[in-house]
Structure 1
Amino acid sequence: MMAAAAGSGRWEFDAIGTVWCIESEAPLGDAQRAAVMSVVDAFDRDWSRFRDDSTVSRLAAGGSVVAPPDAVDMLALYGALADATDGAVNPLVGDVLARRGYDASYSMRDGGASAAVAQWRDVVELSDDRLTLHRPATVDVGAVGKGRLVDLVLAELRQRTAGWLVVDASGDLAVDGVRQRVALEHPYDASRAVGVWALDAGALCASATNRRAWGDGLHHVLDARTGEPVREYAATWAVAADAMTADAVATALFFDGGPRFAERSRASWVRMRTDGAVEWSPHCEAELFV
């Protein structure tokens, strides 16, 4: 997915395992860039299961830690996602992903399917500013986390610079004050687009099974109930008021409850089946090439 270049200031950098691009009406100075990197590093230190020193890694053996500032909002959204997808989306899917090969060392060696903890709310407790796990488990916030970080970066820059902004984290994109035409990349051919979505405010997030894929048909979108990768849908795109919501909707759309979750979230969407058929939401404003 690519945004049309808009302009005056462009800054690219690597963070949380992906490439970021921030475009702005005026070039960002050193202090503004340092503030962005501080936000990114703080989020990564809390939520990355790929770092030994992160909060979720320290918590994986069980016990209690001071709750990260995003815990309330993200876990509440996970609760809504789990309910909408009958448990297919689950914040304790981290151990399942690691077992299938998407682990901290990126071994990409499949150890076989296993289900996540079905009753995750009995394991994860958030109260009195403490985040507690009542048994060993690995929290993974991949369904909402990158979108949340995009929102945090946009909010930080909004306090520090005037004019329009575009924050693009390789598939999760937030726009404020400038019209962007975003190509919806075909999951089977990166040189083609399924369509184009234009927006001048809000967020567009995408997910696809061809990204972070390995082995014999394995990829990062797993059904937490079975530990198996999803097979019915190949790619999803969602537009919402903020990137965390759009990220959550893009994940939910791989499962049967996704459209209902999107409607409750006031999000528009497009998704492609693995057979190439394209579906979209009522009143979707994307220009689709179907």
Structure 2
Amino acid sequence: MGTVPASWRFDAIGTTWEIVTERPLSAAVREEVTALVDAFDHTWSRFRPDSDVSALARAGGSIPAPSDAPPMLDALAAVSDATDGAVNPFVGASLDALGYGADYSFHDAGPVAAPVDWRERLVWRGGRLALTEPATIDVGALGKGRLVDLVLEILSRRESGDLIVDAGGDLAVRGRPQRIGLEHPFDPRRAIGVWEVTDAALCASAINRRAWPSATGTTLHHVLDARTGEPVRTIAATWAVASDAMTADAIATALFFDGGPSLAHEWAVEWVRMTTDGRVEWSPRCRADLFVRTDSVGR
């Protein structure tokens, strides 16, 4: 970045954003970014009663397809196939059942599996987004990454020089390389490595984020296996680097399941993940500088 980069911080879609540029952003650019983020949230947030997906959850039916629907739902379908259905855009009801819903009750009513036939119930072709019956569409597996890409697109049109768009750890970099610490999922004061990112995106997911206690005293978190409605218990954190943030976000989600590494290879995405017993795995030719013991495993 320049000698004195400018930083703009704001809260949106449940996280803190930071946009770093060489010069302070104009009011017009900030307004354009704010309008984009609000429009995305108004369409896709299952936490807003006035959103499009909330309306579809109440009544089903059909709306004009948002421009984001085909790329996001196509990618979600590919991740669902790769993970044998563990990732599913109808997982919203499963999250609601465990207490992570619009009211943030964190009241655990027990696991609810997502419908396996979601592609027969959800249509996103022909300019329409439609449900055959009411259901909660959740694009959390890659939606934040998609929004990071859209914000970066605005800034790239309006601003020259180096850029960083960081949405709570899902970030995209344009220009000068940036060294990003990989936060240890069990101790946020530590990192398991550093990854230098250049003209690319890095997205992460971890079970220590958005976690809450269950009725039985165990810890629940937001990364669920849609086939069971239960939180994942084998993977603690994932990181993925790709040319765009939506792809990196999708792979960061897929890596919680067995099919994730194969899909990452197919999509040419580099990755790192840490298991709940402390082992670290990484992709071939991964360029992260990892602080690992000799018993960790590279793949």
Shorter-normalised TM-score: what interval? over 0.9
Which residue is equivalent to 1:50? Answer: 47
- Within the candidate set 201, 207, 227, 2:205 is matched to 207
Q: Percent identity?
A: 62
The change in CA–CA distance for 1:148 and 1:7 in structure 2 (over 3 A counts) is: farther
For 1:151-162, what aligned pairs fall within 5 Å after superposition? Answer: 151-162=149-160
Question: What SS does structure 2 have at the residue aligned with 1:178?
Answer: coil
CA-atom RMSD in angstroms: 1.2
Amino acid at match of 1:273: T
For 1:139-158, what aligned pairs fall within 5 Å after superposition? Answer: 139-158=137-156
| CA-CA distance at 1:217 after TM superposition | 1.5
Preserved CA contact (<8 Å) 2:70 2:125 = no
Preserved CA contact (<8 Å) 1:202 1:240 = yes
| CA-CA distance at 1:13 after TM superposition | 0.5
Amino acid at match of 2:118: W
Amino acid at match of 2:258: D
Distance 1:71 1:7 in 2: 38
TM-score by length of structure 2 reads: 0.94
Aligned residues: 287
Question: What SS does structure 1 have at the residue aligned with 2:205?
Answer: strand
Q: Deviations over 1:214-241 (max 9, x none)?
A: 0122000000000000000000000000
Question: What SS does structure 2 have at the residue aligned with 1:19?
Answer: strand
Indicate yes or no: 2:27 matched with 1:18.
Answer: no
Distance 1:121 1:257 in 2: 19
| CA-CA distance at 1:127 after TM superposition | 2.6
The change in CA–CA distance for 1:6 and 1:261 in structure 2 (over 3 A counts) is: farther
The change in CA–CA distance for 1:205 and 1:6 in structure 2 (over 3 A counts) is: farther
Which residue is equivalent to 2:268? Answer: 266
| CA-CA distance at 1:151 after TM superposition | 0.2
| CA-CA distance at 1:7 after TM superposition | 4.6
- Within the candidate set 218, 227, 230, 2:229 is matched to 227
Preserved CA contact (<8 Å) 1:7 1:24 = no
Which residue is equivalent to 2:248? Answer: 246
Preserved CA contact (<8 Å) 1:6 1:23 = no
Distance 1:283 1:43 in 2: 35
Distance 1:172 1:22 in 2: 12
- Within the candidate set 173, 194, 213, 1:196 is matched to 194
Question: What SS does structure 1 have at the residue aligned with 2:124?
Answer: strand
For 1:59-138, what aligned pairs fall within 5 Å after superposition? Answer: 59-60=56-57, 61-138=59-136
Which residue is equivalent to 1:283? Answer: 285
| CA-CA distance at 1:128 after TM superposition | 2.2
| CA-CA distance at 1:121 after TM superposition | 0.3
Question: What SS does structure 1 have at the residue aligned with 2:198?
Answer: strand
Unaligned runs of 5+ in 2: 293-299
Distance 1:225 1:231 in 2: 14
Preserved CA contact (<8 Å) 1:174 1:202 = yes
| CA-CA distance at 1:5 after TM superposition | 10
Question: What SS does structure 1 have at the residue aligned with 2:177?
Answer: strand
- Within the candidate set 15, 40, 48, 2:37 is matched to 40
Amino acid at match of 2:175: G
TM-score by length of structure 1 reads: 0.97
